[in-house]
Amino acid sequence: MYKILKKEKLNEAVELMVVHAPFVARSCQPGQFIILRADEKGERIPLTIADYDREKETVTIIYQIVGYSTQLLSSKQEGDTIPDFVGPLGKPSDLKKHKRVLGIGGGVGAAPLYPQIRKLHEMGVAVDVILGGRSKEFIILDKEFEAICDKVYYATDDGTKGKKGFVTDVLNELLNEGKEYDEIIAIGPLVMMKAVVGITKPKNIKTAVSLNPIMIDGTGMCGGCRVTVGGETKFACVDGPDFDGLLVDFDECMRRQGMYKEEEHSCRIGLGGK
């Protein structure tokens, strides 16, 4: 059993939890994730490790409530326990000692982006970040990013913070201004990552993305998380979740992510409504 030591609401749909998980905290690295089950019958759902404390043996997760299992997780309080919490899974991000890197975080994607950007900062890399969201309230971790980045840009759908528009509008502006980045790390919804790559690919700018296909075991056993990268089949849980964005087949990812749309919907009305 894994105890929830802290729970915090970041906005109406996004929450943070600090969980006691010694086997995860002892060796995890930026880019890795965990899989948890919120109760004894629960689905296995993957969440990125947003932060960790090796001494306190804790791991921080930040999740958006989107359906049955994230809602079930959200019903837990400080002091409650999570029955299963396994990790670290996936490969650590391959962070290089570049001169300058741009991070792009869409919505809750800012959470998995943060440990990578912080690590780069610690390595002495100059970092800028673009954060996007529906409106001001949906921007998370802005304070944390501002503390370590040279510049943090914002884009919101309604213009309540930063530019009115998408993160890609800001990206275009920066590149048009002549800003140069050795690498771009984009994490967010698939549509956002696809749009970013739509801009960076013609310019041949190295772009890392973090893929989030539907997973079960997270150990390479089920093959459900397969994605096509550079024409080859990869298992995101063991070969990723980070991949070279310029080689990813995003349309296939989006299609496969929607495989259980119907069931997830019925599950939500059937059980989540209470």
Ligand X SMILES: Cc1cc2nc3c(=O)[nH]c(=O)nc-3n(C[C@H](O)[C@H](O)[C@H](O)COP(=O)(O)OP(=O)(O)OC[C@H]3O[C@@H](n4cnc5c(N)ncnc54)[C@H](O)[C@@H]3O)c2cc1C
Residues of this chain that bind ligand FES (CB under 6 A): 215-218, 220-225, 235, 237
Site for other proteins in 11-30 (CB under 8 A): 23-24, 26-27
The least CB distance from residue 148 to other proteins, in Å, is 27
Question: Cis bond leading into 88, ω under 30°?
Answer: yes
The least CB distance from residue 235 to ligand FES, in Å, is 5
Answer yes or no whether residue 264 interacts with ligand X by CB under 6 A. Answer: yes
Q: Give the per-residue contact string, 142-181, with ligand X (x = CB under 6 A; - = no).
A: ----------------------------------------
Site for other proteins in 50-69 (CB under 8 A): 68-69
- On whether 267 is known to bind a ligand per the annotation, the reply is no
- On whether 35 is known to bind a ligand per the annotation, the reply is no
Please name the residues in contact with 31: beta carbons below 8 A apart, sequence gap of 6 or more.
90, 91, 92, 93, 95, 112, 115, 116, 210, 241, 242
Binding residues for FAD: 62-64
Q: Which residues bind other proteins (CB under 8 A)?
A: 23-24, 26-27, 32, 37, 41-44, 68-69, 83-89, 216-217, 219-224, 226, 228, 233, 238, 252, 255-256, 258-260, 263-264, 266-267, 270-271
